[in-house]
Amino acid sequence: MSSRVSYAIAVLILLLATGLRMWELTTVPIGLHAEEVLTLRLSDTVRAGDIRVLYPVGGGDARENLYYTALAFTRLGTGTGSIGYRMMSVLANIVMLTLVYTTGVRLFGRVAGLSAMALLAVMMWASLLARLAVAQAFLPLLVVGVMLALARALPVYRQYSTESTKVTAFAAVGALLGMGFYLHAASLMIVLGAMAFITYIIVTERPLSTRRLSYIGFSILMIFILVMPYLLSSINLPDLAASSRLFNSNVGLLRSLSTGFMGIAIQGDLNPAFNVPGRPLMDPISALVALVGLIACMRNWRQPRYAVLGIMLLFMLPTGFIAISPPNFIAMSVLLPPIALCFGLGVHLILGQLHQRTYQWLAVGALLVLIGGNAIWTAHDLFTVWPDNEDMQVAYQSDLGHLALHIDQTADDIPTVMCHQRYNDFTRHDRLNNTQLVLLMMNRPTREVRFVDCRQSLVFANGGAHQQVIVAGDNETFRIHPQIADWLRIGQRIQDPNLPEGSVIDMDLEQTVADEMGKFVTISPARFNAPNGQLTPPPIRFGGNVTWLGYAVDELPVYRPGDTVTVTNYWRIEGVIPPDLVFFNHILSDPVTIVAQRDELSMDAGRLRDRDIVAQVTYIELPEAISAGTYTVSVGAYQWTSRLRLDALLNDEPQSNSLILYNIEVVADR
């Protein structure tokens, strides 16, 4: 086979692989796995400036920082959403395929390289791993990168020159092995495998020049320099070191090994989060061909091109097999390149034994059928069977993923109000709530989404015209004020089996809202808080493009010290408002003396738009030491940054900077 034909076939395989990895990337899987959520939170930690070698995640476990640092930088360009989170894994997987092809060609020939590449291209776990935002997605790339660097740096080819290797190949060996420590604990075994092969080269009877030996020393020196911070962190945190976390089995060594081997061709990972439960890593025929390649490596161990594959596979096996609940495909990610190269070697050897051209063409046809059958099998399981698995949907919180997709598809056409009590809370919580997870899963910008703490506020977009309210979790409406609950109850909850129950409320209340606001003209007049302030019915305009529409009050005739006064004010937005707008409610003993107050706007003011109507419930707790008597309730608005109050206007003329609503009575506590 000529190099031109080989490259053309490799391009076709890459196109097939790219299709399997990119098709429906945002919806397969839809949602995020807990490990992906952890990945994104660690990435946010890096973006916040908290850079560490090891990030403890509880339970004696930790994560190395390289992947999360890289993701933090790539997210600056890709933003939020599953495409941005997973694209780095897709690209790493595609690059890995090209390196597998290159390594196979250099070690065993073009047929071996193409066969190894084709197997990985259509392997379901390789395709699924490319869709996950996890550090393990980079392990196959690291493994094959190290193998290729070793093959270029050291004499492993059938014909080689001891003086021809450039220093860049040895620098690549040192850089990959040194940086690998900061990717995943499995890098420890990758380094040991590489060191074992270097030792093998040195002790065999192949002549090594002084220059090549100095290059080897240079690579080892690079490794030590790069790994020094990791070693110091491991000394300071011995329980979190790679050696403490690498081998973690709950079924014993022998069973781990036996189930690991079975997982390759008989019964695969039972975890629905990472596999169609029970589907093996590869089909039995491909496994037999790979076994032929493995036997060849064992028989020809004296030849470096076989030894590099055999030694790396030997050191990867414990990493992939000794894991929680084996066979564990996420742990077996390091095995993908060596297994594929064994398959490629097996194909190369089988075709080499067929001397008649007819048999060779029949074998090639059988290989094409095998690869094509695997491609169809993978496409069916990946895009049809696996997404419909209920356990998989639970693992990826697919209902929240579908809710995020719904918002992505509708927010540009339908004004969207999202109940989000943590919209301005930047505290690092132990767990994200459902709303935060939905925002993490969305692929489109949220500029048009209005964030509201629905427990005490609500926005009627465009004066109550058609809108949707998103309630991603029960915590968003826990202890909701009855008036806000009544408004939500009027809306129609969309019934969709893919969405969390009651998560989307369709509301078209323009006339109802207009009628309710019209009632305030007669039942809730206010007085400007100024000498001889005029009693005026709403609406009353304020500066900053906000208009007070009226108020509703709890029907509590008298209060005692320590009681809570509840006031619901309605405001209308009439243009661009200050992004730091805050409404205040004061309890006054006289026009200027404040005895109790509450200043808040339970929504993101920067997302409010012209004609939006805001319902704001305010809870004002009376002091325990308040005296009995008559007090007045005052309302107004100001800018939080400057503390500058907005003027209340009459005929566009400032009258005061607050309104007096009504009186309350406080009686002595008995």
pLDDT at 555: 67
pLDDT tens-place string over residues 218-249: 999 999 999 999 999 999 999 888 888 888 87
Q: Which residue has the tokens 């109850």?
A: 489
| 248 vs 385, residue with greater confidence | 385
| DSSP codes joined into one string, 50-94 | ---SEEEEETTEEEESHHHHHHHHHHHHH-SSHHHHHHHHHHHHH
Phi/psi-derived region of residue 24, left when phi > 0, alpha when psi is between -120 and 50, beta in every other case: left
Centre a 10 Å sphere on the Cβ of residue 116 and count the other Cβ atoms it contains: 33
Kindly tell me the number of DSSP H helices and DSSP E strands found in the chain: 21, 22
pLDDT at 218: 92
464-481 burial by CB neighbour count: b if 16+ within 10 A, else e? bbebbbbbbbeebbeebb
Tell me the C-alpha distance between 133 and 575, whole Å: 41
Is the pLDDT score of 190 beyond 60?
Answer: yes
Q: How confident is the model at residue 585 (pLDDT cuts 50, 70, 90)?
A: very high
pLDDT at 542: 97
- Phi and psi, residue 188, nearest 5°: -60, -45
Q: What are the C-alpha distances in Å from 351 to residues 252, 284, 297, 411?
A: 40, 19, 17, 57
pLDDT tens-place string over residues 100-125: 999 999 999 999 999 999 999 999 99
Q: How confident is the model at residue 668 (pLDDT cuts 50, 70, 90)?
A: confident
Q: Which of 471, 470, 466 is nearest to 507 (CA)?
A: 466
| DSSP codes joined into one string, 410-424 | HTTTS-EEEE-TTTT
Helix (H) or strand (E) holding 11: helix 3-22
Q: Which of 116, 386, 404 is nearest to 272 (CA)?
A: 386
Q: Which two tokens stand for residue 274?
A: 């990472």
Question: Is residue 367 a contact partner of residue 115, using CB atoms and an 8 Å limit?
Answer: yes
pLDDT at 357: 83
Lowest-confidence segment of 211-215, 525-529, 591-595 by average pLDDT:
211-215
610-630 burial by CB neighbour count: b if 16+ within 10 A, else e? eebbbbbbbebebeeebeeee
Q: Computed from CA positions of residues 317, 319, 322, 326, in that sequence, does the dihedral angle turn out positive or negative?
A: negative
List, in sequence order, the alpha helices (H) in 109-155.
110-122, 124-129, 139-153
Centre a 10 Å sphere on the Cβ of residue 461 and count the other Cβ atoms it contains: 24
Tell me the C-alpha distance between 55 and 36, whole Å: 15
| 402 vs 430, residue with greater confidence | 402
pLDDT tens-place string over residues 612-621: 999 999 999 9
Partnered with residue 242 across adjacent β-strands are: none
pLDDT tens-place string over residues 445-499: 888 899 999 999 999 999 999 999 999 999 999 999 999 999 999 999 999 999 9
Question: Is residue 341 a contact partner of residue 130, using CB atoms and an 8 Å limit?
Answer: no
Q: Computed from CA positions of residues 246, 249, 254, 259, in that sequence, does the dihedral angle turn out positive or negative?
A: negative
Q: Which of 374, 382, 262 is nearest to 326 (CA)?
A: 262
Report, as an integer, the average pLDDT of 436-441.
94
| 96 vs 168, residue with greater confidence | 96
**Domains in the chain, start-ordered, CATH in brackets?**
3-393 (no CATH), 397-508 (no CATH), 514-666 (2.60.40.770)
Q: What are the C-alpha distances in Å from 424 to residues 105, 406, 453, 484?
A: 55, 24, 10, 20
Question: Is residue 600 a contact partner of residue 583, using CB atoms and an 8 Å limit?
Answer: yes
Report, as an integer, the average pLDDT of 500-520.
95
Tell me the C-alpha distance between 96 and 292, whole Å: 23
pTM of the complete model: 0.91
Q: How confident is the model at residue 427 (pLDDT cuts 50, 70, 90)?
A: confident
Tell me the C-alpha distance between 390 and 388, whole Å: 6
pLDDT at 213: 85
| 597 vs 157, residue with greater confidence | 597
Q: How confident is the model at residue 185 (pLDDT cuts 50, 70, 90)?
A: very high
Lowest-confidence segment of 75-89, 204-218, 424-438 by average pLDDT:
204-218
pLDDT tens-place string over residues 64-83: 999 999 999 988 887 778 88
pLDDT at 124: 97
Question: Is residue 569 a contact partner of residue 583, using CB atoms and an 8 Å limit?
Answer: yes
pLDDT at 289: 97
Mean per-residue pLDDT of the chain: 92
Partnered with residue 470 across adjacent β-strands are: 418, 504
Q: Which of 591, 364, 391, 602 is nearest to 481 (CA)?
A: 602
pLDDT tens-place string over residues 257-296: 899 999 999 999 999 999 999 999 999 999 999 999 999 9
Helices 3-22 and 357-380 sit at what angle, rounded to 10 degrees? 20
Report, as an integer, the average pLDDT of 331-359.
93
List, in sequence order, the alpha helices (H) in 300-356.
304-321, 336-353
Is the pLDDT score of 161 beyond 50?
Answer: no
- Give the distance from CA 264 to its chain's centroid: 29
